[in-house]
Amino acid sequence: MLTDRYDLPLSTASAAARDAYVEGCDLALTFYPGAARAYDHAIAADPGFALAHAGKAQVLMREGNVAAARAALTAAMDAATGLSEREASHIAFFDLLFAGRTDAAIAALYAHLTAWPRDALVVASGANPNGLIGGSGHIGQKHQIAVLMDSLAPHYRDDFWFLSYHAMAVRGWATRGGPGEDRAIPGREPKQRARRAWLRPCLLREWRAGRSPHLPIQVAHRLSARRLFLWASELAPLAL
């Protein structure tokens, strides 16, 4: 069976659809242009590829194209016959998210990632600073994201995308002393350090690591992401 970049099985027999889907996921995770187009290529290669429809729906919703996003998610659900349990759960999670059922979506997020921690698109939806948890309005949301990413870290190791998100999560919690309150860290210039920790993952996303054919660039990217995580995590003990 064909798998995605994170070794999760995909319900498509088309290698072209799989390759386009992986490209779409890479672009979606890094917020780089072209993700919807890549998903369209996957759908063209296999119109019944439900996760390609779901991936396109996520990108369209993020762009504010609500009607098109809902149509794409409906297409994903219409094509959901014969899916694996993981793929069905993936689509069900985004259905809750799109419906604005925040608490149910958060519960589904944790249940899904307990079973399939390497489902990166679901991780990104929950861990993005402006995503499901960050936008929930719940007290302690920064801490929740940091704890979630800490728990998932062993499953991703040196994955550049995960390291960037993990660094943002650590930085977000470490520079907050409570709801709406910056914690003063004598001699550490927490706000400036936090801004730098935010800037680097933004730059990393622009590099599109893993898509370059040049191994030295990919290696440099992974090392930079690792340095970013270690740097941001310096703040974490100071927030406890």
Dump pLDDT digits (tens) for 214-237.
333 343 444 445 555 554 444 444
Task: Give per-residue pLDDT as tens, 150-206.
Answer: 999 999 988 888 988 888 887 655 544 443 333 333 333 444 444 444 445 544 544
| CA separation for the pair 126, 148 (Å, rounded) | 9
Per-residue pLDDT tens digits for 12-30: 999 999 999 999 999 999 8
- Alpha-carbon distance 74 to 50, whole Å? 10
Rounded to two decimals, what is the model's pTM? 0.74
pLDDT at 171: 64
User: Percent of the chain having pLDDT more than 90?
Assistant: 52
Q: How far apart are CA 217 and CA 97, in angstroms?
A: 36
Give me the phi and psi of 235, to 5 degrees please: -80, -25
Distance CA 226, CA 159 (A): 9
Q: How far apart are CA 17 and CA 50, in angstroms?
A: 11
The predicted-structure confidence for 113-132, as pLDDT tens digits, reads as follows 999 999 999 999 998 878 89
Are 87 and 51 within 8 A, CB to CB? yes
Locate 133 and state its tokens. Answer: 């948890």
- pLDDT, one tens digit per residue, over 21-71 is 999 999 999 888 999 999 999 999 999 999 999 999 999 999 999 999 999
Rounded CA separation 18/13 (Å): 8
3 state SS of 178:
strand
